[in-house]
Amino acid sequence: MMGTKDREGFLKQFSVYALLICIGFIYLYPILHMISSSLMTLDDLLDSSIKWLPSSFNLENFRQAAASMDFWRALWQSVVLAGVPTICNLLSCSVIGYGLARFDFPGKKIVMGIIILSFVLPSQITMIPTYVLYSNLGIQNTIWAFVLPALFGQGFNAPIFILIFRQFFRQIPKVLIEASRIDGAGYFKSFYKVALPSAAPAFITVALFSFVWYWNESYLTELYVHGIYGDSNWTTLVIQLDNFSDNYSSYQQTATNAATDLNESINMAGTLLSILPLMILYFVLQRHFVESIDRTGITGE
Amino acid sequence: MNMAETTKLTRKEKKALKERMKHLRSGKLEKRYARMGYLFMIPWFIGAGVFLAYPLISSFWYALNNIRITPLGRVFTFVGKGNFTQILIQDPDFLVQLVDYLTSTILSTPIIVVFALLIAMMLNMRIKGKGFFRLIFFLPVIIVSGPILKMLTAEGAGSISAIDVQSLTAAIGSVLPSMLAKPISDVFSNMITTLWYSGVQILIFLSGLQKIDKSMYEAAKIDGGSGWECFWKITLPNLKSMILLNTIYTIVFISSNSQNPIIVLIQNSMFSGTKEKGYGYASAMAWLYSVVVLLLVGLFTLLLTTRKDQYEKQVKRSKKLKKKEARNLKRIERRNSRNAKRIEKQRAKGKITTHTTSRSDY
């Protein structure tokens, strides 16, 4: 491999880099725009000569946005609302994935078909009866509305996670499990002593994606947990952002110091605040995120 | 079934075989194995029953009813297909939104998939800073969510200011009929958000590209294949299943994104206070919408799976040719034997004495 590296033409290489950098800039443009305008004061916004760099480093916007969003409470609740269902997802999807990967039972193909169908089917179709069911069970507007389906493998995007686990458990050599069986381990023991430890990459992938997807889900969170009339005390950063202008105007009325009117800078500061936790998570765990799809072998399907 | 066909068993034998297979299947270990499989699947069976099958069926029942919420509870009045006809005929928004959704999805899905493939191929080259670029292209997956996109498009950060969208829209509008022009210009004016949807797809393509055997490209190069030919004959056929996967993923993602106006419409009519709307009406909408989404996925799946690739085509052609040759050979053999018989007969009658007088095809 080392000796046979054929040279690619300079022009080709140059154009590839140029294209990548251009597209990369387009990708980052909204984020850069967000950062730069969130730091601007009102005067900077109105000054047409200032495009990117604000005249001063102004953090006042963030302070006001955070105060109106009730940032720390929303952050804590977001973490709980994304974290707890993620753990449930890990538990249920790993067990289900193992069942699908290791055992042959009648009707397995039908089960697989239903799993794939339930991924394609829009959640709106089951949304209304589920809403009624939750309110009958009395778990509507509580975290149980997310935890309960996740515990039974029907959480948000659970079909993908089940398939990831299945794919992963299939890659573990069958001999390993058979050996453990011969050594006297039962079905469950060979599952959590042999299969689970070697599936660590799958756990990382599923945990990360599940966390991110739960964090970013606003439609179902608003319906099941936040309450459509905002009548529960659960909220997340994304939902706070969704109702940002309402929140801000109510904050403005109660604020003791004269708060400025809602403007682009404050909007962008609020947006940045709501994605900041995930961005930090991403840059800390970037390797796991980027290599996750490679390792799970979801592409083997 | 295949085996039965190839060995051409009679019906009786087939039945016997089946009986024997049944007998074989009922091994104790096998049975216990299957039972353990069910045990592991129990959570899923419960979940699918309570959170999938039950809501699905009752959603259909809701769709056939008009449901009003009174202080005493929910009051059902059976209206049959009334909700559906009302949505399709009287609702001013639903059909318009549905057509908008369809056209924009049909347009942007190929854009997203092709774009993801291009980026993945560029990242797969020998370039420096591969990790950095991957980091950038995957970033949107982390932060993309309905409210954030809403905010960004509202503040004008969703489109590229360098592209003059206004003039582009005008240019498209002058060429195409307005029904097509609007979705196309919509796609352009939200170019960044469209591209932002392709993070996961890029990674899927990238890992697919890395799995293709390098020696195939080397062999093609030795045979004089250009990069262009390599792309069409090696890369694309190898990525076929991944293209399908990405297409379905893209459609599902667009359909469930909370920026999608239809699902907002469904939620609004669910909590609408008017007499004819409500849970039943919203369920009917959800059913219509789901059927459309499923049809769309089915359409793309059909489009992507029925097209045979070059290799399969050639195999089929050569098989056909072989069959034809075999048929010809058989015909020739039959004729030969027929002729031989005739000659034999005539010789027996004593009519032919030498070979030179006999007529032969060969």
List pLDDT tens digits, range B127-166.
788 888 888 888 888 887 777 877 777 776 666 655 556 6
Q: What is the pLDDT of residue A300?
A: 46
Q: Do B142 and A301 touch (CB under 8 A)?
A: no
Q: Residue B308's pLDDT is what?
A: 59
Closest CA–CA distance from residue A235 to any residue of chain B (Å): 14
Lowest-confidence pick of A288-292, B177-181, B219-223? B177-181
Higher model confidence: residue B353 or residue B98? Answer: B98
Based on the fold, state whether residues B25 and B137 are members of the same structural domain: no
Q: Are residues B93 and B123 in the same domain?
A: yes
CATH 1.20.5.510: does it fit domain A70-242? no
Secondary structure class of A107 (helix, strand, coil): coil
Identify whether residues B352 and B253 lie together within a single domain: no
pLDDT category at B1 given cuts 50, 70, 90 is very low
* Residue type for position A292: S
Question: Quick one: B136 and B241 in the same domain?
Answer: yes
- What total number of domains does chain B contain? 3
Tokens of B289: 């919408």
Residue B3 has a pLDDT of 47
Q: How confident is the model at residue A39 (pLDDT cuts 50, 70, 90)?
A: confident
Does residue B205 sit within a domain? yes
For residue A152, which residues of chain B lie inside 8 Å, CB to CB?
43-44, 46-47, 50-51
pLDDT band at B362 (very low <50, low <70, confident <90, very high): low
Interchain CB distance below 8 Å, B271 and A228: yes
Task: Name the residue ranges covered by the structural domains of chain A.
Answer: 10-63, 70-242
- Supply A70's token pair: 């009730």
Check if A10 contacts B (Cβ < 8 Å).
no
- Whether residue A230 is predicted with pLDDT greater than 70 in this model: the reply is no
| Band (B291; pLDDT cuts 50, 70, 90) | very high
B259 and B290 together in one domain: yes
Residues of A in contact with B151 (CB under 8 A): 241, 244, 267-268, 270-271
**Tens digits of per-residue pLDDT, B78-90?**
887 888 888 888 8
Task: List all residues of chain A from 122 to 181 with a beta carbon under 8 Å from chain B.
Answer: 122-133, 149, 151-154, 162
How do residues B188-206 score in pLDDT, each as one tens digit?
777 777 788 888 888 888 8
pLDDT at residue A7 in the model: 54
- From the CA of A15, how many Å to the nearest CA of chain B? 10
Assess if residue B326 is contained within a domain: yes
Identify the weakest region by mean pLDDT among A233-247, B8-22, B305-319. Answer: B8-22
- Compare all CA atoms of chain A with the CA of B144 and give the residue at the minimum distance: A216
Distance between CA atoms of B356 and A255, rounded to whole angstroms? 121
Q: What pLDDT score was predicted for residue B192?
A: 76
- Both B216 and B343 in one domain: the answer is no
For residue B263, the domain's CATH number is 1.10.3720.10
| B105 plus B252 within the same structural domain | yes
**B56: containing domain:** 2-63
**Residue of B55, B123, B158 lying closest to A30 (CB–CB):** B158
CA–CA min distance A277, chain B (Å): 10
Q: Is the Cβ–Cβ distance between A241 and A266 less than 8 Å?
A: no
Read off the pLDDT of each residue in A211-226 and give the average, rounded to a whole number.
85
Tokens 């042999």 — which residue?
A194
Stretch among A99-103, A148-152, A155-159, B24-28 having the lowest mean pLDDT: B24-28
Check if A59 contacts B (Cβ < 8 Å).
no
pLDDT at B7: 52
If one compares A56 and B66, the residue with the highest pLDDT of the two is B66
Alpha carbon distance A260, A45 (integer Å): 13
Classify residue B169: in a domain, yes or no. no
Same domain for B341 and B251, yes or no, is no
A225: left (phi over 0), alpha (psi -120 to 50) or beta: alpha
One domain, residues B235 and B350: no
Distance from CA of A143 to the nearest CA of B (A): 16
Distance between A257 CA and the closest CA of chain B, angstroms: 26
* Residue B333 pLDDT > 90: yes
Radius of gyration of the CA atoms of chain B, in A: 32
Given a cut of 60, is residue A106 above it in pLDDT? yes
Out of A96, A106, A268, name the one closest to residue B155 (CB): A268
**What's the pLDDT at A85?**
92
pLDDT, chain A, mean: 81
Q: Are A134 and A140 in contact (CB under 8 A)?
A: yes
Is residue B237 located within the same domain as residue B138?
A: yes
